[in-house]
Structure 1
Amino acid sequence: MLESWRWYGPFDKIKLAEIAQTGASGIVTALHEIPYGEVWPVETIRARQAEIAGNGLGLHWAVVESLPVHENIKRGEGDLTALFANYRQSLANLAACGIRTVCYNFMPLLDWTRTRLDAPVSRGGTCLRFEAHEMAAFEVHMLKREGAEADYSPEVLEKARNWHDASDENARQTLLASIMAGLPGAYDRYDVEGLRQALEHYKDIGRAELQANYARFLAEVVPAAEELGMRLCVHPDDPPRDILGLPRIVSSEEDVAWILAQQQARANGLTLCSGSLGANPANDVPAIAERFADRIHFAHLRNVRKDPDGSFEEAAHLEGDTDMVALVAALIREENRRREEGRLDWSIPFRPDHGHELLSDSGRGTHPGYPLIGRMRGLAELRGIVRALTHERIHFA
C-alpha cells in the first residue's frame, strides 16, 4: 500500500520537508487556487508536480483530492455543457502529467461537517467531534430551518434548546465557524444568513433529484476517464446522513452499490473512507471494503467512536468502532489479487485521515483535522498493521 499524505500546497502550514520525515512518499493535493468549474491547465499541474518532486525528498503527486464538482452540476442547474467539458479537459490534462487517481465528492454545498474542532481527548490533545445536540441547536435555533425538528429526537432537541439558551454570541459564532471549517477547497465561509440563502438553491432537490444529477455527471465524465486510464473515486458523505435539509446519497453500502452500477467501468470507483462510512451505525466498513474491493482506488484510514444519539468523535486510528486490522487486511487481499492479475496499478494509495492534535500541533494553525504529529502517529500505527499483515509468514485466503 502506498503511504500518502494530504497537503494543501502553498496554503499548508506543514512543509514538504516535514512530510518527508513522516515516511510518506505519495502527496495527496489539489490546485485549490483554481475556482470550481475552471480547467486545470497542464502548466499549472506540472508546476505543482515540480514543487513536490523537485526537492530531492522522494515525494511525488500521487492522488488529486479533489477535482471539485461545481454546485450547478449537483443542482442540475442551467446549461452544464461547458462545466462537463472543463471537467473532462482537466482529467485529460492530469493524465498527460501522469496523475491518474482523482478523489472527489458529491456532497451538496458543504464538505465534512463537525460542531467542535477541539474536543478534549482523555490522555491529552484534541479531536474533531460532531455533537448531535449542537447541530440541532444550530439548525433549529440559529438557522431556523423549517422542518429541522423532525430530524432529531426529543432528547436531542431538549439538549439543543438548553445549549442555545445558555450560549452567548461568541459560543454561537464558534459553532458556526466549526460547521464551516470543512470546506478545504473553496475557502468560502457562510454566515447564518448567507447559508440560509445558499440552502434556498436546494429547496426543490431531494434524494431522487440529486441522484439523477449525479448519474448524469457520471455518464458525462466516466467514459472519458476510462479512455484516459484515469481512476475516479467518490468520497462518502461526512457525516453519512442528511444534514441541513440537504440529501446525502453516498452514505451507505446500498448507496455505493447504486453509484458503481451507474457506470460499470473501472474508472468509476470509490474512496474507501473508514471514518465517514464508520460514522453510520448500519455500515460494516470491512465488509463494504470486501464487497467493493475491485473498485477501491484510494483509502482514507481513520476511526470514529459513536454515541447512541448520533454524535461521534474521531478516535485514535486503532481505537474506534471500526476493526482497522480487518479493514487493512481486506485492502491487502485486493492488492494481492490485482498483482496476480498482472496489473501495474495494483497498489492502493492510502493516507492517515485526520488526526488528534498532539504535543507541538497545538497552536500551529494547521487545517482542522490535519495536524502533523497526530497524523504521523496514525501513519505509524497503520504502517505497523500493513507490515505485520504482509510479513512473509502471513498468507491470505
Structure 2
Amino acid sequence: MEMSFRWYGDDDPVTLDYIKQIPGMKGIVSAIYDIPAGEVWPYEKIIELKHKVETKGLVLNVIESVPVHEDIKLGRENRMKWIENYKQTLRNLAKANIRTVCYNFMPVFDWTRSALDAPLEDGSHSLLYDEEKIKDLDPLSGELDLPGWDLSYQTEDLRKVMKEYQSITEADLMDHLIFFLKEIIPVAEEEDVLMAIHPDDPPWSIFGLPRVIINEENVVRMLKEVDSIHNGLTFCTGSYGANPDNDLLSMIEAAKGRIHFVHARNIKVTGTKSFQETSHLTRDGSVNMVNVMQKLQETGFTGPIRPDHGRMIWGEEGRPGYGLYDRALGAAYLNGILDTLTTEKEG
C-alpha cells in the first residue's frame, strides 16, 4: 500500500517539508482549491501542483477531490454541460499522469459534524457528530463551516437548492449518479483514470437531504450498474463504520478489486447515529483497524491509503481533523500493522 497524506496546498500549515519526514510516507493527496465546482481544471494548474509535490521528493498520487456540480446531482437539464467539463478535467489529469480521483456525490454538504473540538478523556479534542444537535442545527444559518464545504452559494440560492432536493428521493439520486458514471467512466477507461467515490459522511440522511453511498447494498448496485474497474471506491473506514450495521470486512470482500483508495480513520460510536473520532488505534474506537488492514491486504489492495482525520494533540491548533501530529501517529500505526502483516505472510 502507498502511505499517503492529505495536503491542502500552500496555505496548509502542515507543510510538505513536515509531511515527508513521516516514516514510510510516499504520496500526497491534494486538489486545486480555487476553481469553482463544475469548471474545467486547467492542465497548467495541475502541473504546477504536481511540480510542488515532486520537488519535495513525494508523489501526487490522488486528487481529492474533483467536485461534482450540484446540477448533476439534481439531474437538471443542463447537467451535460458540467459532465463534459468533468470529462475534460479527467483528460487533463491523465495528461499529467495522475491516475486516481476521489470524489463524492453528497448533496450540498460534504462531511458533516456537530462539533469540531469535542474533548476526549486524554485531553485532546476531535470531531464529533451528535444526531440530536444536528437535528436542531439550521444549515442555512452559517453556524457551522467545515473544511470541504462549498460555501460559494448565496443564502437565497442555497435555500432554493435545499428546497429542490425535497422532491429528490434516494432512488432519484442513485439514478443521477448512475447517469453521471455512464457518461464519465468511458473517458476514465480511455485515459486510464481510476474513479474512487467517497461514501456519504455520515452514512445517512442529514438536513432532509438524500444520501446513497451508505451501505453494501447500494455500493454493490453502483459497481454492477457501471461494471468497470475504473468505477471504484474510496473505502473510508470512519464513514462506513459510523453505522454499526455496516460490516466493513464484508464490504471490502464485496468490492474486491474495485477499491482504489482508502481513508483509514477510527471512530467511537457513542449512540444512535452519533460518534466521535478517536486515535487510529483499534482499542480506542469501534473500528477494528487491524482486521480491516488485514482484509485489504488479503483482497489484494495495493493502492494509496491515508490516515484520515486526526485529533488535535500536544497543543496543536489548525484545520479541524487535519493537524500534523495525530495523523503522523496514525500513519506510523498503519505502517506498523502493515509491517506485521507482511512479515507474517513472508514468514
- Give the TM-score band, short-chain normalised: over 0.9
The equivalent of 1:359 in structure 2 is 314
Matched AA of 1:101? T
The equivalent of 1:82 in structure 2 is 81
Q: Does 1:210 align with 2:209?
A: no
Relative to structure 1, is the Cα distance of residues 301 and 356 closer, same or farther in structure 2, using a 3 angstrom cutoff? same
- Kept in 2, the 8 Å contact 1:273–1:302? The answer is yes
Gaps of 5+ in 2: none
Matched AA of 1:47? E
RMSD of Structure 2 on Structure 1 (CA): 1.9
The equivalent of 2:126 in structure 1 is 127
Q: More helix by proportion, 1 or 2?
A: 1
- Identity, in percent, stands at 41
- Kept in 2, the 8 Å contact 1:29–1:66? The answer is yes
- Kept in 2, the 8 Å contact 1:360–1:373? The answer is no
Taking the aligned partners of 2:172 and 2:11, their CA distance within structure 1 comes to 35
Where do residues 1-397 of structure 1 align in structure 2 (5 Å cutoff)?
Answer: 1-23=1-23, 24-54=25-55, 57-138=56-137, 176-178=142-144, 180-184=145-149, 186-188=150-152, 195-318=158-281, 319-335=284-300, 347-362=302-317, 366-391=318-343, 393-394=344-345
Residue 197 of structure 1, CA deviation: 4.0
Taking the aligned partners of 1:20 and 1:360, their CA distance within structure 2 comes to 22
Residue 41 of structure 1, CA deviation: 1.4
Taking the aligned partners of 2:314 and 2:135, their CA distance within structure 1 comes to 32
- Kept in 2, the 8 Å contact 1:272–1:300? The answer is yes
Matched AA of 1:103? C
Could you list the per-position Cα deviations for residues 179-209 of structure 1 after superposition, in whole angstroms to 9, with x for gaps in the alignment?
x31435x354776x77544411312111121
Could you list the per-position Cα deviations for residues 224-273 of structure 1 after superposition, in whole angstroms to 9, with x for gaps in the alignment?
10121110010000000011110110000111111101111100000000
Residue 347 of structure 1, CA deviation: 2.5
Matched AA of 1:49? K
- Kept in 2, the 8 Å contact 1:113–1:182? The answer is no
State TM-score, norm by structure 2: 0.94
* Partner SS state of residue 21, structure 2: helix
Taking the aligned partners of 2:63 and 2:45, their CA distance within structure 1 comes to 14
* Partner SS state of residue 62, structure 2: strand
Gaps of 5+ in 1: 144-172, 336-345
* Partner SS state of residue 221, structure 1: helix
Residue 82 of structure 1, CA deviation: 2.0
- Kept in 2, the 8 Å contact 1:218–1:262? The answer is no
Residue 104 of structure 1, CA deviation: 0.3
Which segments of structure 1 move beyond 2 Å, counting only runs of 4 or more?
A: 186-191, 193-198, 393-396
- Kept in 2, the 8 Å contact 1:114–1:129? The answer is yes
User: Considering only CA atoms, is the larger Rg found in Structure 1 or Structure 2?
Assistant: 1
Relative to structure 1, is the Cα distance of residues 131 and 189 closer, same or farther in structure 2, using a 3 angstrom cutoff? farther
* Partner SS state of residue 359, structure 1: coil
